[in-house]
């Protein structure tokens, strides 16, 4: 009879982190442990969870919960998981990041010794601030994509993906993607069958791969650049109108070339692509909340041809308008 393989999972707790981002994955791994007992002994793994902290105090209070932690600097887990950051806006996010100098220093010192590192949601901002994502592909919460891209240019952001793995680093998207991240780690150590069984107990789709259907462009955190904000405001009022880049550049008192360069740097797309996304966002709202025909929705979103609009819609959401309505629309 083979021995059960232990897998140590260290969850880094720090001031400002999401309590659910720490506790949630721990619960997922515990469920996997229970399900793993049904497998042949030679295939079993057992996830051993420990709370870790870069702070000197052994007990850390986060989100109304108290965690008794081991020192991060003395631990070498098989995988270190970094929860996301609780914040209502980028100002609060930056306040947490600025206060996490101890975490950043500890992560920098031990990064080379970590077999596997995982960051969930906005935790990827802390990982990037510590330099752990430089030269790598990564993702983050969709609403932080513009902020992330402008602050961490050394990271190749793949904003529409729910999970991105680059060698020994795994990052995930929006808040509840810690479920997907945990399931991916379960598959890594315990196999695909254990991952699927755990996903069924969680009533989850174990194959989610994209954040695109959930993106609301108007809610995304901007960089606050005056030129870009002026362009965004002008464009948002003209979703049903035709416009040209020179016209937009003139409104922003700059050249088309400068506008394109700065828009790409901050938004990660061109003004034309940005308007496409705003139109798709309007269509998503209409598909979710009304029974309007696809032709009516097409016209209200500034397009004349249903086929053309459907292609644009699928480009940004990775599903057709019909598929989107079937999944997110009102049930009557």
Task: Give the contacts of 64 (CB within 8 A, at least 6 positions apart).
Answer: 19
219 in a structural domain: no
DSSP annotation string for 238-289:
-TTS---HHHHHHHTTS-HHHHHHHHHHHHSS-HHHHHHHHHHHHHHHHHHH
How far is the C-alpha of 326 from the C-alpha of 198, rounded, in Å?
Answer: 26
Does 155 lie in the same domain as 33?
yes
Per-residue pLDDT at 125: 97
Give the domain-ending residue among 214, 243, 261.
214
53 in a structural domain: yes
8-state DSSP, 43: G
Instruction: Look up the CATH number of the domain holding residue 39.
Output: 3.40.50.880
Task: Give the contacts of 207 (CB within 8 A, at least 6 positions apart).
Answer: none
Q: Closest Cα to residue 267, out of 231, 314, 237?
A: 231
Does 200 lie in the same domain as 181?
yes
Per-residue pLDDT at 219: 56
Does 133 lie in the same domain as 190?
yes
Instruction: Look up the CATH number of the domain holding residue 244.
Output: 1.10.10.60
Does 231 lie in the same domain as 201?
no
Give the domain-ending residue among 180, 214, 248.
214
3-state SS track over 98-137: HHCHHHHHHHHHHHHHCCCEEECCCHHHHHHHCCCCCCCE
Give the domain-ending residue among 214, 246, 265.
214
24 in a structural domain: yes
Positive or negative, the CA dihedral 288, 291, 293, 298 is negative
φ and ψ at residue 302, rounded to 5 degrees: 85, 15
Between helix 256-267 and helix 271-289 the angle, nearest 10°, is 50
Does 84 lie in the same domain as 202?
yes
How far is the C-alpha of 133 from the C-alpha of 166, rounded, in Å?
Answer: 9
Does 48 lie in the same domain as 152?
yes
The tokens for 27 are 């619960």
Per-residue pLDDT at 216: 67
Record the pTM. 0.74
Q: Taking a C-beta distance cutoff of 8 angstroms, is the pair 280, 324 a contact?
A: no
Does 170 lie in the same domain as 64?
yes
8-state DSSP, 169: E
Place of tokens 């806006």: 89
Does 187 lie in the same domain as 246?
no
Per-residue pLDDT at 40: 73
DSSP annotation string for 58-106:
SEEEETTEEEE-EEGGG---SEEEE--B--SSHHHHHHHHHH-HHHHHH
Q: Taking a C-beta distance cutoff of 8 angstroms, is the pair 48, 115 a contact?
A: no
Q: Taking a C-beta distance cutoff of 8 angstroms, is the pair 150, 183 a contact?
A: no
147 in a structural domain: yes
Does 263 lie in the same domain as 117?
no
Per-residue pLDDT at 250: 93
Q: Count up the domains in the chain and report the number.
A: 2
Does 177 lie in the same domain as 317?
no
How far is the C-alpha of 220 from the C-alpha of 35, rounded, in Å?
Answer: 39
Please write down the long-range contacts of 194-203, taking CB distance under 8 Å and 24 or more positions apart.
194/32, 194/35, 194/36, 194/39, 194/45, 197/35, 198/28, 198/31, 198/32, 198/35, 201/31, 201/35, 202/28, 202/31
Domain that holds residue 236: 224-328
Does 72 lie in the same domain as 181?
yes
Does 254 lie in the same domain as 230?
yes
Between helix 178-190 and helix 192-201 the angle, nearest 10°, is 140
The tokens for 68 are 């008794």
How far is the C-alpha of 63 from the C-alpha of 284, rounded, in Å?
Answer: 33
Mean pLDDT split into 10-residue runs, the chain, 332 residues: 83 96 96 88 87 93 93 94 92 95 95 93 96 96 88 92 94 93 95 92 81 68 67 85 91 91 82 90 88 93 92 91 88 60
Q: Closest Cα to residue 220, out of 328, 163, 148?
A: 148
277 in a structural domain: yes
315 in a structural domain: yes
205 in a structural domain: yes
179 in a structural domain: yes
């Amino acid at each position: 009879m083979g021995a059960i393989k232990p897998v140590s999972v260290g969850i880094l707790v720090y001031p400002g982190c999401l309590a659910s981002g720490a506790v949630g994955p721990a619960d997922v791994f515990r469920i996997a442990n229970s399900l793993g007992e049904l497998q042949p002994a030679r295939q079993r793994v057992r996830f051993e969870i420990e709370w870790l902290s870069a702070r000197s105090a052994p007990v850390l209070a986060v989100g109304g919960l108290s965690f008794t932690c081991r020192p991060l600097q003395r631990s070498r887990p098989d995988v270190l998981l970094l929860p996301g950051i609780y914040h209502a806006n980028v100002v609060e996010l930056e306040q947490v990041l600025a206060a996490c100098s101890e975490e950043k220093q500890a992560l920098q010192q031990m990064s080379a010794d970590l077999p596997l590192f995982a960051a969930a949601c906005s935790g990827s901002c802390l990982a990037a601030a510590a330099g752990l994502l430089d030269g790598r592909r990564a993702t983050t919460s969709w609403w932080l994509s513009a902020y992330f891209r402008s602050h961490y240019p050394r990271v190749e952001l793949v904003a529409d993906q729910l999970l991105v793995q680059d060698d020994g680093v795994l990052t995930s998207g929006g808040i509840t993607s810690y479920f997907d991240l945990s399931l991916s780690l379960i598959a890594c150590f315990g196999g695909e069958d254990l991952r699927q069984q755990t996903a069924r107990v969680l009533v989850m789709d174990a194959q989610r791969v994209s954040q695109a259907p959930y993106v609301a462009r108007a809610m995304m955190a901007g960089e606050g650049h005056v030129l870009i904000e002026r362009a965004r405001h002008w464009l948002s009022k003209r979703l049903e109108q035709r416009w040209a880049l020179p016209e937009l550049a003139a409104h922003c008192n700059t050249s088309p070339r400068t506008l394109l360069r700065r828009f790409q740097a901050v938004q990660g797309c061109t003004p034309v692509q940005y308007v496409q996304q705003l139109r798709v966002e309007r269509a998503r709202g209409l598909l979710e909340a009304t029974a309007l025909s696809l032709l009516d929705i097409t016209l209200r979103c500034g397009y004349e041809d249903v086929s053309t609009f459907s292609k644009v819609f699928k480009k940004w959401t990775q599903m057709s308008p019909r598929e989107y309505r079937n999944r997110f629309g009102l049930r009557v």
